[in-house]
Structure 1
Amino acid sequence: MFVKPKIFLSWLALLLSFASLFLSAWIILPAPNMFLLTLAVGAPEVSPWLFLLNFSFFLLSLFYIRRRNLQGLVYIFSLIGLLICGWVLVNIPLTQMQMDRAMKQGLGANYLEQIPIQVSAKMQSHPFNLVNFFRGIALGKTRHQKDILFASPGGVPLKMEVYQPPEIGKYPAVVVIYGGAWQYGNTHANSEFNQYIANHGYTVFAIAYRHAPQYQFPSQLDDVRTALNFIRKHAAEYEADSERMVLLGRSAGAHLAMLAAYQPDAPPIRAVVNYYGPVNLTQGYKTPPNPDPINSRAVLKAFLGGSLEELPNRYEIASPINYLTHPLPPTLLIYGSRDHLVEAKYGRQMYERLHNSGNTAVFLEIPWAEHAFDAVFNGVSNQLALYHTERFLAWVLFKQ
C-alpha cells in the first residue's frame, strides 16, 4: 500500500521528536545503570544541539504537519524537550556568576590581578562560548611523548605520557591522574585537556597506576608517589619546574591526587585540582547514591579489599578528608549537582573542612552536570570548568 510522502514524513517527525525528547530527558532523569549513565553524562553537555533539534521539530509541528493527532504529539514532545534543554542554557550565566563569586571568595577578590598579563591573555576569554561549542575549542600545537616507563612494581610496567609546549623552555608541571573507579583507565584519557593545557604553558604528565581488584590500596597511592619522585628527578629532561607542580585528577584519580598531596611527607605540591573525586570513603560506603549505577560498595570493596565492617581503619586511611591536620596546598574542587557516582555533597563537605582548618580552597558546583561531565571537551560544563581551572592554575603557579 502506497503511503503519501507527507504522512510518512509526519510519522518520521513523530518518531524523531520522541527520540530527541528521550535524549533530552536524561538532563534531569537519574540514570539507573551504566548504559543510561552515558546518556545522563552527555545530554546536558550537548544541550545546545538538543535544543536546536527540539526547536526544529517544534517548527515542523506548527507549519508542516497537518494531521492533528500527530501534530499534537510532535508539538508536546518538542516543547518538553525545549524546556528541559532551555533550563541548562538559561542557567549558564547564573552558574558562572556563582562560580566567579566562589573563586574570589577562595582566592581573594583581586586574584585575577595577580596573574601576569602574558599568562591571562592565553586563557579562554569567556566561561561559555557558543562558537567553541559548535566548532570545538582550539587545542594548539604541543610536543607529545608516549610510553615513558617510570616504574615496574612487581613486574607491572607503569608508563606516562608527556605533553609539552611547542617552544623549548622551563614550565610549571601539571600531573594528571585518570579516573575509572581505580579499576580501569589509561594515560590517554582526556588527552584534549592535556594538549590544551600544555599549549598554554605547562608541562603535563599523564601518569598510570596499578588497578584494582588485582592490586588494592595503597598500591595506587604508592604508584602516584613513585611517579612524582620520577618527575622531580627527571624534571629537567622534560622542561618541567619541579618546584611548581600541581596534581590534577578526575574521579578516582582526583582521590589519589588529594591523598598524594596531603601526605605529611609529600613532595612540594603547589595545588590540587579535584574533578568530582571521592573524599570520604567511609561515608560513601555507608550512604551510597540512589540510584547507584556502578554499585559503589562493590567498587570500594574491590579497591580496599573488603567492606567497611571488615576494614574500617583502611577506609579511614584511604579518605583524603582525614588528612586535614597540617597546612595543605590550595585545592580546587569541581562537582556536578546531579552526580550519582560521587555526590556533590562530599565535595562541599571537603571544602568546608579545608576552609575551616585555614586552608585555601574553592568549591565549584555545576547544577546540571553528572559525573565525568568533562568527557565532552567543548561541552557546556567543561567550558565552565576549564575557564576556572586555568585561572586557578595560573594563580597558584604564576601569581606575582
Structure 2
Amino acid sequence: MFAKPKILLSWLALLLSFASLFLSSWIILPPPNMFLLTLAVGAPEISPWLLLLNLLSLLLSLFYIHRHKLQRLACIFSLIGLLICGWVLVNIPLTQMQMDEAMKQGLGANYLEQIPVQVSAEMQTHPFNLVNSFKGIALSKTRHQKDILFATPAEVPLKMEVYQPPEVGKYPAVVVIYGGAWQYGNPHANSEFNQYLANRGYTVFAIDYRHAPKYQFPTQLDDVRTALNFIRKHATEYEADPERIVLLGRSAGAHLAMLAAYQPDAPHIRGVVDYYGPVNLTEGYKTPPVPDPINTRVVLKTFLGGSLEELPNQYQIASPINYLTHPLPPTLLIYGSRDHLVEARFGRQMYERLHDSGNTAVFLEIPWAEHAFDAVFNGVSNQLALYYTERFLAWALFKQ
C-alpha cells in the first residue's frame, strides 16, 4: 500500500538532485547559445538559493532513496552542486578585498573621506548581505515620469524616463543607457536600479536611442548626445544639476556612454560607469569569445554596417579605447571574469590604457559573473557592483 508513494518520493528526490546540479553547473560551464546564456547569467546570482536547493536534495536523497546505487548517485549530484555554489559564496570576501583595494588605488586611499557624511549614511553598509539575496534589496518610493519626448530624429520619437528623489530639490544627475547589442531595449530596463539611485539623492535619466540594423553607427551616439543636450537644457525642470552629471551604461549602453563622454567636444561630465561594455571593437571582431553565444561578428557588422575588412576606420572610430588622447572623466569599469559576450580582458585593457594615459580609472572584476550579471537586482554580483558604484558616484558627484 505504501510502496508506490515511497518509490515516487525516491524518484522525485533523484530528479531534484539532478535538477539542482544542472542549474548549479552553469555557474562554471560556458554557455554555447543564448538560451543557456540566460542560465549562466542567473545561476551564480541566485547561488544562495541554489545552495539551499542542493542541500534539500541531499537530505531528501538520504531519507527517501533506499536503493543504494541511486542514493549514492543522487548524493553525488547534490554534493557537487553544493561545492559549485559554495565556491561563489566562499570567494565573496576575497573579491570584496580586491575591490576595496582597486577603489583605493584608482580614487585615492582616502576617497571615502571626500564623500559627505549625509551621503555616506544613505549607501549600502556592506558589499554583500545574504539576507538581501532572499528578501531583496529594499526600495522606497520615488517620483517617476515616463514617456518624456526629447527628440524626433527622422520622425522617430525618442523618449526618456526620469526618476527623482521623493523630496523636491536640486540633485546630481545620472544618465543611464541600456544595453541590447545596439539592436533592442528600452529606457524602462533596470528600473529597480534607477529607483534605488533616485531614492539616494540622484535624478536619474534613462534615455532611448535608435536601433540597428535600420539605424547604424554613429546614429546611436548622436542620439545620446542629443539626450545630453536636452538634459542640460531642461535640468532645472527636472531638478538636476547640469554641472554634476555621470553617464552609466550597460553593455552596448556602456559603449555609448564612454564614446559620448570621451568626445573632444563632450559637455562637462563628472564620470562614466561602464558595466561590461565593448571598448575595442576592432579586437572584439578579430578575437570573438569562445563559445560565442551572441555571434559577435554578426552583431558588430549589423551595428557598423559591414565587416572589419570592409570598414576598418569605422571600427576604429567606434572604439572608446581610441579616444585616450586628451583628459577624460574618471571611469569605473565593472566586468565579470566569465563574460562570454564582452570578455573581461577588454575591460582590463581599457583600464590599463586609461591609467597609463594619466586618467583616473577603477577596474573591478567579479570572478563568477557572466554578462548582464546585474539583471538579478538582489543577486550576488549586483550587490557587490551596486556597493562600489554607489561609492564611485558619491565620490564623483558629491566630493568635497
Q: TM-score range by the shorter chain?
A: over 0.9
Are residues 1:173 and 2:173 paired?
A: yes
Mapping of residues 78-97 of structure 1, within 5 Å = 78-97=78-97
Match of 1:115 in 2: 115
Counterpart of 2:148 in 1: which secondary structure?
Answer: strand
Paired position in structure 2 for 1:269: 269
* Residues 52-75 of structure 1: CA deviation (Å, up to 9, x unaligned): 000111122333422212211110
SS of the equivalent of 2:278 reads coil
- 1:289 paired with 2:289, answer yes
Counterpart for residue 46 of structure 2 = 46
Residue equivalent to 2:199: 199
1:116-144 C-alpha deviation (Å, 9 max, x unpaired): 11000000000000111111101111000
The letter for the 2-side match of 1:81 is: G
2:391 is matched by which residue type in structure 1?
Answer: R
Q: Secondary structure at the match of 2:315?
A: helix
Distance in 2 between residues matched to 1:347 and 1:260, nearest whole Å: 17
Distance 1:169 1:38 in 2: 40
Counterpart residue number, 1:369: 369
Count of residues paired in the alignment:
400
Q: Deviations over 1:308-361 (max 9, x none)?
A: 000000000000000000000000000000000000000000000000000000
Structure 2 distance, partners of 1:245, 1:22, is 44
Superposed CA RMSD in Å reads: 0.9
1:198 and 1:349 mapped to 2: Cα distance?
A: 32
- What secondary structure, in the 3-state scheme, does the structure 2 residue paired with 1:102 have? helix
**Which residue of structure 1 lines up, in the alignment, with residue 156 of structure 2?**
156
Q: CA deviation at 1:3?
A: 5.2
Alignment-mate amino acid for residue 93 of structure 2: P
Give the secondary structure class of the aligned counterpart of 2:274: strand
Letter in 1 for 2:321: I
> How far does residue 6 in structure 1 lie from its aligned partner after superposition?
1.3
**Partner Cα distance (1:128, 1:58) in 2:** 27
Aligned equivalents of 1:327 and 1:3: distance in 2? 75
Gaps of 5+ in 1: none
Conserved? CA contact 2:270–2:329, under 8 Å: yes
Aligned to 1:16: 16
User: Deviations along 1:29-78, whole A, 9 cap, x unmatched?
Assistant: 00000000000000000000000000111122333422212211110100
Distance 1:127 1:2 in 2: 50
One-letter amino acid of the counterpart of residue 231, structure 1: I
Match of 1:4, SS state, is helix
Partner of 2:62: 62
| Counterpart residue identity of residue 54, structure 1 | N
Whether 1:355 and 2:360 are equivalent positions in the alignment is no
TM-score scaled by length of structure 1: 0.99
Question: Which residue is 1:4 aligned to?
Answer: 4
Structure 2 counterpart of 1:303: 303
Residue 189 (structure 1) aligns with:
189
- The one-letter code sitting in structure 2 at the alignment partner of 1:239 is E
Conservation of the 8 A alpha-carbon contact between 2:9 and 2:64: no
Counterpart AA for 1:281: L
1:338 alignment partner in structure 2:
338
Alignment partners' CA distance in 2, 1:184 and 1:364: 27
**Match for residue 100 of structure 2?**
100
* Conservation of the 8 A alpha-carbon contact between 2:13 and 2:64: no
The whole-number CA distance in structure 2 between the counterparts of 1:148 and 1:67 is 64
Query: Identity over the aligned pairs, expressed in percent?
Result: 87
Equivalent residue for 2:133?
133
- Pairing 1:211–2:211 present: yes
CA distance in 1, matches of 2:143, 2:365: 33
Looking at structure 1, the residues matched to 15 and 57 of structure 2 have their Cα atoms a distance apart, in angstroms, of: 10
Q: What is the distance in 2 between the residues matched to 1:278 and 1:336?
A: 13
CA distance in 2, matches of 1:22, 1:58: 14
How far off is 1:104 after superposition? Answer: 0.4
Cα distance between partner residues in 2 of 1:265 and 1:139: 37
Quick one: distance in 1 between partners of 2:257 and 2:59? Answer: 49
Distance 2:214 2:13 in 1: 50
Contact 2:149 2:158 in 1 (8 A): yes
The equivalent of 2:258 in structure 1 is: 258
Answer whether contact 2:270 2:397 (CA < 8 A) is retained: yes
TM-score for the superposition, normalised by structure 2: 0.99
Matching residue's letter, 1:274: D
Give SS of 2:185's match. Answer: coil
Give the partner amino acid of 1:92. Answer: I
Does the 8 A contact of 2:20 with 2:57 survive in 1? Answer: no
Task: State the 1:2 CA deviation.
Answer: 8.7
Question: What SS does the corresponding residue of 1:256 show, helix, strand or coil?
Answer: helix
Partner of 2:25: 25
Unaligned regions of 5+ residues in structure 2, if any? Answer: none
Tell me the distance in 2 between the aligned counterparts of 1:342 and 1:14.
Answer: 37
Counterpart for residue 327 of structure 1 = 327
- What is the rounded CA distance, in whole Å, between the counterparts of 1:175 and 1:43 in structure 2? 29
Take 1:2 and 1:53, find their aligned partners in 2: how far apart are those partners? 26
The 8 Å contact of residues 213 and 302 in structure 2, kept in 1 or not, is answered as: yes
